[in-house]
Amino acid sequence: MGAFRVEIRVMPRASLLDPQGQAVEHALHALGFAEAANVRVGKHLVLEVTAPTKEEAAVRARTMCDRLLANPVTEDFSVAVDTAGRPEGSPLG
């Protein structure tokens, strides 16, 4: 078993209106960043998952997304597991 640092990105579905993204884009343009486009605002979650393997940690994290962390009606997610998994008990970097 090891503890893996998992990063989860939850984004509003591309097909849906993202008013926050629009507002940020508008603000960027107002500040002179005309080059910014297609801004979308999502969530970033960082957690520690204890699992036998990195792959298993990713599977568990995806299940968490399905059940709680993302709403399948409105959000997509992606899961990244830190390659530098650490042995159980050692502090996270």
Binding site for another protein (CB under 8 A): 12, 16-17, 19-20, 23, 68-69, 71, 73-74
Q: What are residue 50's DSSP bridge partners?
A: 3
**Whole-number minimum distance, CB 17 to another protein, in Å?**
7
Between residues 10 and 54, which has the closer beta carbon with respect to another protein?
10
**Whole-number minimum distance, CB 54 to another protein, in Å?**
25
Provide the 10 A C-beta neighbour count for residue 8: 20
Strands 2-12, 75-81: pairing is: antiparallel
Closest to 2 in 3D by CA, of 61, 85, 64, 63: 85
**Whole-number minimum distance, CB 86 to another protein, in Å?**
20
Backbone φ/ψ region at 38: left (φ over 0), alpha (ψ -120 to 50), beta? left
Between residues 69 and 79, which has the closer beta carbon with respect to another protein?
69
Between residues 54 and 60, which has the closer beta carbon with respect to another protein?
60
